[in-house]
Structure 1
Amino acid sequence: MKRSAVVKSMVSALGALAGLAVLAFPQQAMADIKIGLSGPFSGPMAADGQEYIDGFGLALEQLGNQLGGQKVQVLQGDDQMKPDVGSQVMRKFIELDKVDAIVGLGYSNIIMANLRRLKESGVVSIAVAGGPSPMAGAECGANVFSIAYPNDGSGEAIGKLVQDKGYKNVYLMAPNYQAGKDMLAGFKRWYKGGVAAEVYTQINQTDYSAEITQLQLSKMDAVFMFYPGSMGVNFTKQLKQAGVIGKVPVYSTFTVDGTNLPALREAAVGVISGNTWNPALENPENQKFVKAFEARYKRVPSTYAANAYDAAFLLDTAVRKLKGDTSNKVAFAAAVKAAGAEFKSVRGPFRFNTNNMPIQNYYAFEIVKEGDQIKGKLVATPLVDHKDAYVAACPLK
């Protein structure tokens, strides 16, 4: 990736503060709009972070490296999925780079470590991989958006689906951080049957043999799991090896997706996953996106790439509404909110609620094998035009 002389000098002068690499997308020498793109670009979740980069980058290519007709500079900051590093990234973007908007924001542990700073800065901030419950509720901010989902949204969808199917005793598992707790809470909000166990494991744990043994000894009649990224690869493979997948129904959110399905292949067949998006969705925007992504990057995109792609088109619409002038932070945030109902999302119906969380459909996809292909097949839409559970606690109107 080509770096401008300006960005090279920034890296040299500010590297000690950030403790990480700051890269730039191909860009014009003098940009009218500056975007900070943050996420886990190294470490166990680097594949997810690459999806941010590629989804956002593809959209910019299609937009002529412009947003709303204005030339764009994109700086990258690697949060390494560490709150202290993520805080350095955000501080640099806000105080030194003086970006017009921040896209990505990383996982919920990074968002929560920086939510107050983001709100106080007034800088438009758009999460592409989650929405912690405090951010959706009492700690919402007029300039802080999730273009993805509240953390528990897909959990709610699978909870409803499992409830509708009549399971009586479900075993719940997730990593021990905000998103994991939110996801299981969302599941239980709609599922009213028995819970065989509610197990939280360490973030980035690799061996789940002890937990799977306990799962097999329980009297569960179904499993619900949330393990994003590489955690999902390890956990799903070990479930398959233990004979759980194929023996009992296994439901998930973000455990099996475009980032890890190539590594899982047959091990994931039969798993039913809740999500807001999948390559299987049939609408013109999604078909255009998937075709272009596969041609450009030679792989199937994930939800994170789809959300980042949407974020670019959302910003493009907002900047056009302001005729290219993003200097007024309050006006820019208001334009982003209004643009939510105007741009065409790859996931179908979309708009922002008063708390800047999406109102959207939640789908269920079964991983199937068709010929040599392993892919998602739409099997249900448990929640339609769904609003999150926290909006009443948000003071925004």
Structure 2
Amino acid sequence: MKQLSKLAGLAVLLSAAIDPAIAQEKLKIGVIVTLSGPAAALGQQVRDGFALAVKDLGGKMAGRDVEIVVADDELKPDSAVTKVKGLLERDKVDFVVGPIFSNILQAIHKPVTDTKTFLISPNAGPSSYAGKNCSPFFYVTSYQNDQVHEVLGKVAQDRGYKRVYVMVPNYQAGKDSVAGFKLDYKGEIVEESYVPLGTLDFQVELSKIASQKPDAVFTFMPGGMGVSLVKQYKQAGLADQIPVLSAFTVDESTLPAQQDAAVGMFGGANWAPNLDNPQNRKFVAGYEAAYNSVPGTYAMQGYDAALLIDSAVKAVKGDVSNKGAVTAALKKADFTSLRGGFKFNTNGYPIQDFYLTKVAKRPDGKFQTEIVQKVFENYGDRYAKECTPGN
């Protein structure tokens, strides 16, 4: 009986810690991701991963009901600005989560942070905001764009590949990917092909690869671009001749369409579905049950974004009006990440482990990436030293 009395008393104290007036107000979170066109699968994973986390939290954060307002940025910067202003001005969201692509982030970063609204990126992590332009209102639950590609440069160097063909989309994240790859790779880059974002026909580039016969191909082709490239690479007979080191080209958002054509291809990542820890096993099972598909990094990072927000809202007892207190709580990142070890660097980008992954076909016929080896441990990005905390 004494134990029950203590528990009842604790419950009263916890409920009293949250202002009843605040508890009655919904916590509004805007999610802006790409939900149309060939890249829609990426945005759907973030949206669904975030929604699953909120469901697992009982639909509440610090006693406040959570309302998620979803917007499709259409992978168009102008449209994204219009949509995000609607989230801020019409919907009056407390947090904005998104986007997928770095060019969209560059369009919405200022409109969001200028209003002192917290922007949590579950995917895009350009160098633009990792250094001197870091902001106390911007946090990333994925990585700094260069880092995943650094994994592949290190692997290419360690495996003794002398000549590599590089092919990426011609936008900020594509340029960041090449910069990341070159950090550790010191061999010859036989060619750098920068293709327009959204390219779906790679016959010209594949002909060059066939004639130049590099030791490996490094590529970053997200979404529908990756689906087309992998299928065409297989059809061209190159898959069994020249290994592919890629980021976001073969992952759980593209594998349902690529299937056997992608098996054996390598990737760099901060996580994979087979990462063995209790919280991740629960998440993967829950995601597959809810959406009948294998979660990718996008879904994982969306889930972690919700846990991050929840940790901050709990720390301020549901009152998000004190921006300084919310900032301090976000920086602590006091939650259990699905990837295990996770903390923020001074710039709001994570310090975490990175892996080489490989596409495999599971016994149930579904496809997933699986960890081959850990390449970097507790790894922070190289721009953080340029960020002055409190910017």
The two structures have a TM-score, normalised by structure 2, of 0.91
Contact 1:35–1:103 (CA under 8 A) maintained in structure 2 = yes
1:196 paired to 2:190: yes
Q: Specify the alignment match of 1:19 in structure 2.
A: none
Q: Specify the alignment match of 2:122 in structure 1.
A: 128
1:384 paired to 2:377: yes
Instruction: Identify the match of residue 252 of structure 2 among 253, 258, 261.
Output: 258
1:343 paired to 2:335: yes
> What pairs with 1:228-307 in structure 2 (closer than 5 Å)?
228-307=222-301
> What pairs with 1:53-68 in structure 2 (closer than 5 Å)?
53-68=47-62
1:345 and 1:373 map into 2 onto residues whose CA distance is 25
Q: Is the partner of 2:145 in helix, strand or coil?
A: coil
Q: Specify the alignment match of 2:100 in structure 1.
A: 106
Q: Specify the alignment match of 2:348 in structure 1.
A: 356
Q: Is the partner of 1:121 in helix, strand or coil?
A: coil
Deviations 1:309-360 (A, max 9, x none): 111111111111111110122321221111x2x2111112100000000100
2:63 and 2:255 map into 1 onto residues whose CA distance is 37
Tell me the C-alpha RMSD between the 2 structures.
Answer: 1.5
Instruction: Identify the match of residue 85 of structure 1 among 79, 97, 109.
Output: 79
> What pairs with 1:74-223 in structure 2 (closer than 5 Å)?
74-223=68-217
2:28 and 2:280 map into 1 onto residues whose CA distance is 27
Q: Which runs of 4+ in 1 moved over 4 A?
A: none
Q: Is the partner of 1:277 in helix, strand or coil?
A: coil
> What pairs with 1:25-64 in structure 2 (closer than 5 Å)?
31-64=25-58
Q: Specify the alignment match of 2:16 in structure 1.
A: none
Q: Which consecutive unaligned segments of at least 5 residues does structure 2 have?
A: 1-22
Deviation at 1:30, TM superposition (A): 6.2
Amino acid in the other structure paired with 2:353: N
Deviations 1:139-192 (A, max 9, x none): 111110111111111001111111111111111111111111101110101111
Contact 1:251–1:271 (CA under 8 A) maintained in structure 2 = yes
Q: Is the partner of 2:114 in helix, strand or coil?
A: helix
1:119 and 1:53 map into 2 onto residues whose CA distance is 21
Q: Is the partner of 1:76 in helix, strand or coil?
A: strand
Identity of aligned residues (%): 44
1:375 paired to 2:368: yes
1:268 and 1:185 map into 2 onto residues whose CA distance is 25
Q: Specify the alignment match of 1:3 in structure 2.
A: none
2:199 and 2:95 map into 1 onto residues whose CA distance is 33
2:371 and 2:153 map into 1 onto residues whose CA distance is 17
Deviation at 1:45, TM superposition (A): 1.3
Q: Is the partner of 1:80 in helix, strand or coil?
A: coil
Highest Rg: 1 or 2? 2
2:149 and 2:255 map into 1 onto residues whose CA distance is 20
Contact 1:68–1:318 (CA under 8 A) maintained in structure 2 = no
Aligned length: 367
Deviation at 1:222, TM superposition (A): 0.6
Deviation at 1:116, TM superposition (A): 2.2
1:365 paired to 2:353: no
Deviations 1:110-129 (A, max 9, x none): 11112222332211110011
Deviations 1:249-270 (A, max 9, x none): 1110011111111111110011
Structure 1 window deviating more from structure 2 (136-145 vs 111-120): it is 111-120
1:201 and 1:390 map into 2 onto residues whose CA distance is 26
Deviation at 1:31, TM superposition (A): 4.1
Q: Specify the alignment match of 2:386 in structure 1.
A: 393
Structure 1 window deviating more from structure 2 (103-112 vs 114-123): it is 114-123
Distance 1:370 1:332, change over 3 A: closer
1:233 and 1:354 map into 2 onto residues whose CA distance is 36
Contact 2:252–2:369 (CA under 8 A) maintained in structure 1 = no
2:24 and 2:63 map into 1 onto residues whose CA distance is 14
1:262 and 1:76 map into 2 onto residues whose CA distance is 24
Contact 1:143–1:330 (CA under 8 A) maintained in structure 2 = no
1:211 and 1:31 map into 2 onto residues whose CA distance is 54
Deviation at 1:96, TM superposition (A): 2.8
